[in-house]
Structure 1
Amino acid sequence: MEKILIAFLIGGLICLLGQLLMDLTPMSLTPGHILVGFVTGGAILSALGIYGPLVDLAGAGATVPLSGFGHALAQGAISAVEKEGLLGAFAGGLEATAVGIAAAVIFGYTMAVIFNPKG
């Protein structure tokens, strides 16, 4: 139960940061900018060795937000560089996140077919 509470609090704080950025920054900072910032921030914190311990502490509370996607990309690239050399930096991140990306595409397409979106 304690692990669930920690995951909820850490994930909630990450989401709160995103909401505050959307509410308190000028209109020139769009949600797209914030999304890219979270992915980039997760990758940078992962490369610095900061995001890994956060994932160990919070579990899904740190991996589900977009910063967790950046962490997965960075860890995949780092792992592939260790195994394959410099060329691994280009493919490692995609290999590490391929299942999640494929699931998002498949589920998104399925929902679009079922619910017939307008727009």
Structure 2
Amino acid sequence: MTTTSTVALGDLPAIGARLEGGTFAGVISLPDGKHVAVILLPGKGEELDWKAATAWAEKHGGELPSRPVAALLYANVKAELTPDWHWTNEAFGASCAWTCYFDSGYQGNHRESCEGSAVAVRLIPLTA
């Protein structure tokens, strides 16, 4: 998980507003129970295999979204996304990874060697 400073729940802006160098997309709970603000970072990686997409996201100060975070992006900031498939940070078997189609919200998978698009997110821990 990529983190910066924390932000208080009461200080969060409206969805779609600017926050921490990107677009605030909403709040999600992580598997460990921690709550984080999801920030969609500017830019888009194109024609990247999964490994290159992961490196691209890290270079831009974030990470590829998990499947739940990709669904949150589609639900809350769809206008900021291009309507094609994008990598997530989750592997699917030995040689595939999960993807999210930002034109429909459908999640599927592709071989890690396929070239697709990527967005980067930053997850910021929330405080009371």
Flag whether TM exceeds 0.5 (same fold): no
Larger Rg: 1
Q: TM-score, normalised by structure 1?
A: 0.28
The structure that is helix-richer by fraction is 1
The structure that is strand-richer by fraction is 2
